[in-house]
Amino acid sequence: MKAAARYLLLFIMLTSCAIRVPEEGVTDFVSRHAHPLKTVLPGSPAADLRPIRDIVGDARIVALGEPTHGNREVFLLKHRLIEYLVTELDFNVFALECPLGEAYDINRYVVEGIGDPEKALAGIYYWIWDTEEVLGLIKWMRSYNADPAHKTKVKFYGFDTQDPERAARVMLDYLAKVDPDLEQDVRPELGILAVPFSNPEIIGRRQFIPTEYDSLSLLEIRRVMEAFDQNKAEYLAASGEDEWTFARQHARQVEMYVEANSNEGKNYTRIRDRGQAENLAWILEQEGSNARMMVWAHNSHVSNSSRWRTEWMGTHLKRRYGDKLRIFGFFFNRGQFRALDEGVPSGGMHDFSVGPAPEGTFEHLMATTRNEVAVLDLGDLPSQGTVFDWFDQERPTRSSGGGFNDAEPDSYLWPYNLASAFDVLVYVDSTTTVRPVDESDYDYVWLLDRKLDKPGNTGFEHNRPGEAPDGWVTWSKFKRLGAEMEVSDERPYRGKNSARLHLPAGPKYGEIAPSIRQYIDAAPYRGHTLRLRMAARAELADSDVAYIRLAIDPKALDDAHEGLPPLYDSLDEYRIESPDWRLYTIDVEVPDDAHMIHYGIYLQHFGTAWMDDVQVEIVD
């Protein structure tokens, strides 16, 4: 990220003389050819969107980008365009930049009306989509599909390759059915990929587990992929074509995840974007020759461009689909957006504000036209001359993924050759921030570095039954997903209370592991042997899992993109398998560079677990 910032600053300095003020002819061209839109609001009359029909033509894929993951008006306008594409142009497949597996839970609601849309959205764990705007889109899709007059239903897919839990579980469950010997062989190496840890400090995402993508993991997942193809006839006989296809694509997600993260992630972006394009092609193939697909992702992913030896998703798609793909880049001039604060110290999830875009940018050019919202079809560009030349060179544009730093705004200007990267440029002059479904989901993000000086309330006697235990993290997103995290007076191990973690059986939303855990400062324990001891019990169905987890983390606060693996992580090794109280002990050496220690109980799938009499001490 830091190298990228230096490159962008150098790019801006070197090109500043060439892109001062756009020639009058360019301004005149844009003023005459830009199609103004009256509003960004979904559900508005669609007369101003009629030019979109000719712009899209007979394309099978429309890719909708975004300059940041936090502009409300951009999200609303994309929703409005999706409504038009569905109702007027018969688009029937929607694909979001989120994991392929978890998106099926949203599709279940969108197509069949099963489950809760807010829980389904929370279950994919991408904080960038956990907003009122995306939730509104999901509810609109359900409303559209519920109308019996609409014979063709809109389906909801994910196409990203991140987060392996659902994909690994589907793969292993299928192998257990069709090839149990192979499943038993590969589970010791690949089984951990199916275990969620759902860390609140990384907003529910998965922590670094280096053994997941070592050389043995690569060998084992490639062995699985070979088995899917070489043993296809036998697998089909034991399942069916659709089930085999579904399971194989999930196994492919695991393979891409392992490949992308191996070799210290040096080829992560290249493999990820190639995989995104592969997933979209697979989705379109599954939906048949009449399917038309809408794709929602960041400008960088949808663009037909490359950077740092990486071809973005849009480049792969454009090579495959040509004019059957229309790429819409979205841009904003000024206003607010939401992102993680990458400054040090960080403000966590933060609302940022930027002034008018600098000269030489497309956003500045559009601001001179005085349009609030407009669409520019680059198919209208002349084939040569001043206007074409202006667009046919790299120009910085506003670009922020999940983070931003007020102290380095120029680091968030991304260069594109607009004429080749996009087919259509969509401009919004001013934006506000997206609205999170639950603001408290971001209270524990790692950049805030929230931890206790020492263990506290370890017997859970500070609270009354039914209350959240003081000093312990009971994450709001787990509550939204139905988890109960509270003090209980039901059969405590010692004293009057214990802590109870419960997730009732019902529709599954994502691959989550709700937890009750405590974060403490590691400084007093550095260089010593730490002993974690607690009593625990669980009541579980056959497929449910409960476990105790202890992890020791290094300091990871200086760069929001510089993730570090835990110094120690017991993962799911210490399973809670008895309905009766049992004592569990974990001893571990605390390294000198330890920053934070956290421990607690976790649930995978459904069931109930209790803990009591937690002790953290130095024993050397």
The string of pLDDT tens digits covering residues 131-188 is: 999 999 999 999 999 999 999 999 999 999 999 999 999 999 999 999 999 999 999 9
Distance between CA atoms of residues 300 and 311, nearest Å: 10
**Ramachandran angles phi, psi of 189, nearest 5°:** -95, -40
Q: Which of 117, 93, 97 is nearest to 105 (CA)?
A: 117
pLDDT recorded at residue 1:
41
Sketch out the chain's domains with CATH numbers: 1-32+46-78+327-442 (3.40.1660.10), 165-270 (no CATH), 451-618 (2.60.120.260)
CB atoms within 10 A of CB 266: 11
The greatest distance separating any two alpha carbons of the chain, rounded to the nearest whole angstrom, comes to 83
At residue 521, what is the residue type?
D
Distance between CA atoms of residues 323 and 319, nearest Å: 10
pLDDT recorded at residue 343:
86
Element (H, E) at 222: helix 215-230
pLDDT recorded at residue 346:
83
Tokens matching residue 572: 């799911």
The CA-CA-CA angle for residues 142, 143, 148, to 5°, reads: 105
DSSP per residue over 442-468, as a string? GTT-GGG---BSS---TT--SS-TTSP
DSSP annotation of 436 reads B
Distance between CA atoms of residues 324 and 319, nearest Å: 10
DSSP lists the bridge partners of residue 597 as: 520, 552
- Reduced to 3 DSSP states, what percent helix, strand and coil does the chain have, rounded to the nearest 5? 40, 25, 35
In which residue ranges of the chain is pLDDT below 50?
1-22
Tokens matching residue 218: 């690569």
Q: Which of 9, 1, 15 is nearest to 417 (CA)?
A: 15
DSSP annotation of 572 reads T
Distance between CA atoms of residues 182 and 230, nearest Å: 13
